[in-house]
Amino acid sequence: MPARVIAVANQKGGVAKTTTAHALAAGLVERGRTVLSIDLDPQASLTFAMGVEEEPEPSMHDVMMGRTQISEILYESNGIDLAPSSIDLAGSEVHLLTRTGREFVLQRALKPHLDSYDYVFIDCPPSLGILTINALTVAGEVLIPVQAETLSHRGVGQLLETVEEVKQFTNPDLHVSGVVVTMFDSRTNLGQEVVATLKATHDLRVFEPPIPKSVRVAEAPGRGLSVLSHASTSKPAAAYRRIAEEVDDGR
């Protein structure tokens, strides 16, 4: 069976896209699955969080420019294969805009690798630009991290509109697998509020449980580890494990 390709997307920054992509990849590796993680954000947060400290060369920038294969840029990090990003990926965004078939560059690059993995996670940048469109065009599903705070659902409608456009023009099979509620603070009721609003406004599946806010999550990237490795017995690690299981059960 070819890999399930999951784009982790939300044009809002700081909602835990990168954290969620990393933790779910780690959770699936713990379950014995093979995972490729693609860092498609020029800010390269996932690349850093997975322990790559030098500027990777070549990187996804070269892949998106069509001059390197994904297999030539891979790093290995705790059992996850990483296709790293670098700041010059921002430049390939400009280059892509002038090209015919620009939405399909990642799809073409990924195709030879789909039989080598159970899962491919794509960590998207905080925009709905051509890089995110490339991710949505190759993905079978989109997973949307939403921060548990008032009004955090407001960008989700726009993201869903983009998903509809992608379905219409480049990828009819795309679907939204669901929302992961992140940075949940049990002392407030905002998590429940966000879940209720998302269900009522957009009829979206919300994965359970929400991911608790915890300093253990925030300190993990600095160690080059996912929260599952950095704080294996913590509540957020357990929450991400349960969601990874839920994702895996949908296979």
Residue ranges that bind ligand ADP, judged by CB under 6 A: 13-19, 45, 126, 182-183, 211, 213-214, 217-218, 221, 236
Specify the residue, 67 or 154, whose C-beta has the smaller distance to ligand ADP: 154
Please give the Cα distance from 13 to 125 (Å, whole number): 8
45 binds Mg ion (CB under 5 A): yes
User: Which listed option, Mg ion, ligand ADP, none, makes contact with residue 221 (CB within 5 to 8 Å by class)?
Assistant: ligand ADP
Q: Which amino acid is it at 133?
A: I
Other beta carbons within 10 Å of 114? 16
Specify the residue, 18 or 214, whose C-beta has the smaller distance to Mg ion: 18
12 binds Mg ion (CB under 5 A): no
Residue closest to Mg ion when measured from CB atoms: 18
CB of 123 to Mg ion, least distance (A): 6
User: Which listed option, Mg ion, ligand ADP, none, makes contact with residue 35 (CB within 5 to 8 Å by class)?
Assistant: none
Q: Residue 131 is inside which H or E element, if any?
A: helix 130-138
- Output the DSSP codes for 154-192: GGHHHHHHHHHHHHHHT-TT-EEEEEEEESB-TTSSHHH
Q: Which of 6, 7, 12, 17 binds Mg ion (CB under 5 A)?
A: 17
Burial 154-190 (b: 16+ CB within 10 A, else e): ebbeebbebbeebeeebbeebebbbbbbbbbeeeeeb
Mark the segment that binds Mg ion (CB under 5 A) among 9-17, 143-151, 167-175, 181-189: 9-17
CB of 32 to Mg ion, least distance (A): 27
Please give the Cα distance from 140 to 143 (Å, whole number): 10
- List residues near Mg ion by CB under 5 A: 17-18, 45
